[in-house]
Amino acid sequence: MVEFNPFALKRKTILVVGASSGIGREIAIECSKMGGKIVVCARSEENLKSVLDEMDGNGNTYITADITNQEDLTKLVSDMPVIDGLVISAGIGGTLALQFATREKFDRIFNLNFFAAVELTRLIYKKKKINKGGSIVYISSIAGNNRITPGNVIYGCAKAALSTYMRYAAIEFAGRKVRVNTINPGMTNTNLINSSGALSDEDYQKDMETYPLKRYGEVQDIAPAAIYLLSDASSWVTGCQFVIDGGVTTK
């Protein structure tokens, strides 16, 4: 009997941006285990090499780029192979009261979490660097849906913008059968948690108690959804926000 796996990524080339840590790193590693040829991208060459060491297969490569830099972005699109899947996981967080949310601080987070992602998408699509039938997956957040928490205004607005952009891209890219979706996680244990140092361990524990499953997510909880969205198993799925949040937005 021939074994068939609808989630296999064999013969697919996938670019994972923001692959040096956190959710992006886990997605890259798990996609390689599903047979994909993975191109990992981030700013740190050292971190990217360490990701490659954990990946399966021999055809995986890396490209260093700061996607907030237009020159780097243009070179990335020029140097990258034609792909079947794109995952954009690059992002920064930060907790800040609204009264301190200046335009400069908005720009810093929006430049990476939104503008860099959409400019990279635009160039890849325009230059036909993604095959017909390809899949684009953005890592968004429930902070951009209806999980409104104090101090999260800039991050939440950036993720809301990304999730909305996804829906427009899903409509416009459908002519070339390119699917576009987001994964919207709840709080996930990555280096983004408490990156600002604004919240105490006690604050996080109190927040965790609001989750029905009484824990934050792990990167291993998120990566399988990306595999599904990149695989042929999701060939009729586009324009969707996949919420993975331990049930917190049901409350």
Catalytic sites, residue numbers: 155
Q: 130 and 136 in contact (C-beta within 8 Å)?
A: yes
Cβ atoms 94, 154 nearer than 8 A? yes
Strands (DSSP E) found in 113-230: 130-139, 179-185
CB 154 within 8 A of CB 101: yes
Contacts of 85 (CB under 8 A, 6+ apart): 9, 12, 13, 14, 15, 31, 36, 134, 135, 136, 137, 230
Closest CA to 91 of 63, 68, 57, 122: 68
CA-CA-CA-CA dihedral for 120, 166, 137, 212, to nearest 10 = 140
Assess contact for 58 and 31: CB atoms under 8 A.
no
Taking phi over 0 as left and psi of -120 to 50 as alpha, with beta for the rest, 192 belongs to: alpha
Token digits for 144? 């951009």
